[in-house]
Chains A and B, each alone.
Chain A
Amino acid sequence: MDDFDRELRRSLTTIRDEASELDGRPVWEARAEVLERIRHRRARRFVASGAVAAAAIAVTLYVVARPASIDRADELPVTGSPPVSEGALDYLTPSGVTPVGEEPRDVSVGGRGRIWSANGDATVSQLDETGAELARFDTSSVPGDIAIAGGPVWVALPQEGAVVEVDPVTGPMTPIQVFDGAVDGMELTVGQGILWVVSRGDKLAIVDVADRTVSQVDLAEFPLDVAIHGSSAWVLSVDGSVTPVDQASRTALDPVFSVTPSTSGDLTFADEALWYFTGRDGDLMRLDPDAVEDASTTSYEGVVVDLAIDPQVAWVVLRKDDGSSWLQRIDRATGEPQGAARPIEGTAVEAAIAHGSLWVTLDDRDEVARFPKA
């Protein structure tokens, strides 16, 4: 261990010790809540899965009824966990994988049909339709969201509160400062010459792509995400409201929708439908902007972590309680599942559809994998 290591250790333990002195929730109270949640979750599992419950009860009765088991009270069967053995799962096999930068997150398509991944090592990768990495550009800090419309590729730099245009040949251009400094996270969408930028939980700004000027839009609630539909940008806020902002006047109109409030959330428009998920549960909501009462919510097992949709198909990326990632094809008209979900190897973060494939970032493998989209 050298001086560097010792200083690193000293610094981290200093911060930890400082935090440990803070008032927190009483341990007894937290413990009681945990026990209650464990009981509740077990009960919910039994109610939600009748077949599993019946099987578990049958196994329990079987074990209890066995004469030899009466004296072995420490060996009651375990139900529900740990994860299913890998051999029992029908894994979906990628048609190819491409090593990219470390811990890739967002994946987007555009800019001459190229696939772009935002990597955790402060780089962006550009892939062609075969998956070959054509270029990897350094960004000045860890990139966040990517937005592409036609040619230009826009990348959010949350640690700088800036956005940067990335030229497919020469790489990043001069960043545009959008917010005063680092922000918790940024969401981008681009259309009709305007780049919409959300500082999650804080502000909405717009960048005029032509002259690169920045202006702020006043909102009644803190924004989480923004999507473009028709002549308006639609802003999802922490209170669950979805508010159109007129592109011409750049003023917020009255909220049109109300979805489940959350401190995280993803809003996507595809065709004439709005899709929403919180990233905290398995619910996927589909709304028709012209018939709000027709909203439908489909509940998937695990957590919906991303949605990829094109004019033919749609897929959701799911993460189960055991940490495994699954891909589920869904009906674009209803959000209902089509066929069975399939597990994949690696931790899937985001997905996009292009060139007949579903492109998925695997952040634990530093790869972008592609799967047949159908």
Chain B
Amino acid sequence: MRTAVAVVGTTRVADARADRDAQVSALFDQHFGRLRDLAYMILGDRDVAEELAMEAFVKTFSGWTRIRDVDRADAYLRRAVVNLCRSRIRRRSIEYRVNAVTYRREERRAPDWDPERHEDARRVWAAVRDLPPRQRAAIVLRYMEDLNEREIAEALDCSVGTVRSQLSRARQKLKRSLGAEELGDG
């Protein structure tokens, strides 16, 4: 009897593992690119962003035998990416790949490359990356990910009120650092 239970259990665990792998694979294909872009916009390093997006999947799903709430996986992953980005900023790590990334970008400019437009965008992005980590993440989640305040609060693990104040402070700083006119506020 005990043997029978063990065999059934082993089979079930193996089946569950295969199911979980299939679920993770599907979620990976669906969300990886967007999560990598989110990390990139917060950190500014493409390779680190890729590494953190992958780590978000590992952290989120390695403890689970089966993903029960697939609809919520997107929110879990987004929160994991934001947390990892903020940790990376805190950890004061360094990266050497910036030059390589810049080189690749220069080599792969799109045919419709508009220097003026892209330079303006980079100036804005540089100002965003000068914000404190939480404000930086809030701005990217609001303006790039199009999340509402409740969703941003979930990703940042804070209250909606905190999100409002962080976005307000961040906007004020951006206006100061970039000048209101440049961002169309004049």
Q: Does A216 contact B (CB under 8 A)?
A: no
Residue among A30, A263, A279 making CB contact with B32, cutoff 8 Å: A30
A93-B54 Cα distance, complex, nearest whole Å? 35
Query: In the complex, are the beta carbons of B184 and A79 less than 8 A apart?
Result: no
Looking at A8-16, A107-115, A173-181, A253-261, the stretch in contact with chain B turns out to be A8-16
Q: Does A24 contact B (CB under 8 A)?
A: yes
Could you mark each residue 24-59 of chain B with 1 if its beta carbon is under 8 Å from any beta carbon of chain A, else 0?
110011001100110011000010001000100111
In the complex formed, the residue of A with least CB distance to B58 is A37
Query: In the complex, are the beta carbons of A13 and B144 less than 8 A apart?
Result: yes
Query: In the complex, are the beta carbons of B37 and A19 less than 8 A apart?
Result: yes
In the complex formed, the residue of B with least CB distance to A77 is B65
Q: Does B21 contact A (CB under 8 A)?
A: yes
Known: A38-B57, A65-B5. A12 touches B94 (CB 8 A): no
In the complex formed, the residue of A with least CB distance to B40 is A19
Query: In the complex, are the beta carbons of A102 and B169 less than 8 A apart?
Result: yes
Q: Does B157 contact A (CB under 8 A)?
A: yes
Query: In the complex, are the beta carbons of B59 and A321 less than 8 A apart?
Result: yes
A3-B178 Cα distance, complex, nearest whole Å? 14
Query: In the complex, are the beta carbons of B125 and A11 less than 8 A apart?
Result: yes
Query: In the complex, are the beta carbons of B28 and A34 less than 8 A apart?
Result: yes
Known: A12-B140, A73-B15, A78-B64. A27 touches B94 (CB 8 A): no
Interface size on B, residues (CB 8 A): 75
Chain B residue contacts of A303, Cβ below 8 A:
87
Query: In the complex, are the beta carbons of B183 and A8 less than 8 A apart?
Result: yes
Query: In the complex, are the beta carbons of A364 and B63 less than 8 A apart?
Result: no
Q: Does B95 contact A (CB under 8 A)?
A: yes
Chain A residue contacts of B58, Cβ below 8 A:
34, 37-38, 41
Residue among B28, B29, B83, B104 making CB contact with A23, cutoff 8 Å: B104
Query: In the complex, are the beta carbons of B125 and A15 less than 8 A apart?
Result: yes
Chain B residue contacts of A21, Cβ below 8 A:
108, 110
Query: In the complex, are the beta carbons of B15 and A3 less than 8 A apart?
Result: no
A24-B124 Cα distance, complex, nearest whole Å? 24
Q: Does A159 contact B (CB under 8 A)?
A: yes
Query: In the complex, are the beta carbons of A41 and B62 less than 8 A apart?
Result: yes
A65-B12 Cα distance, complex, nearest whole Å? 12
Chain B residue contacts of A41, Cβ below 8 A:
58, 62
Known: A12-B124, A79-B63, A120-B132. A3 touches B185 (CB 8 A): yes
Known: A103-B133, A349-B90, A364-B134. A76 touches B54 (CB 8 A): no
Q: Does A309 contact B (CB under 8 A)?
A: no
Q: Does B139 contact A (CB under 8 A)?
A: yes
Q: Does A345 contact B (CB under 8 A)?
A: no
Residue among A15, A22, A76 making CB contact with B108, cutoff 8 Å: A22
Chain B 120-136 residues near chain A, CB threshold 8 A: 120-122, 124-125, 128, 130, 132-135
In the complex formed, the residue of B with least CB distance to A350 is B90
| Distance between B113 CB and nearest chain A CB, rounded to angstroms | 9
7 closest A-B pairs by CB: A81-B63, A120-B132, A3-B184, A201-B94, A80-B63, A11-B124, A264-B93
User: Can you give 30 contacting A-B residue pairs, CB < 8 Å?
Assistant: A3-B183, A8-B183, A12-B125, A14-B118, A14-B121, A18-B110, A19-B41, A22-B46, A22-B104, A22-B105, A22-B108, A30-B28, A35-B25, A37-B58, A38-B61, A41-B58, A41-B62, A70-B8, A77-B65, A78-B63, A78-B66, A81-B63, A120-B132, A141-B130, A142-B130, A201-B96, A224-B94, A263-B94, A280-B91, A319-B87
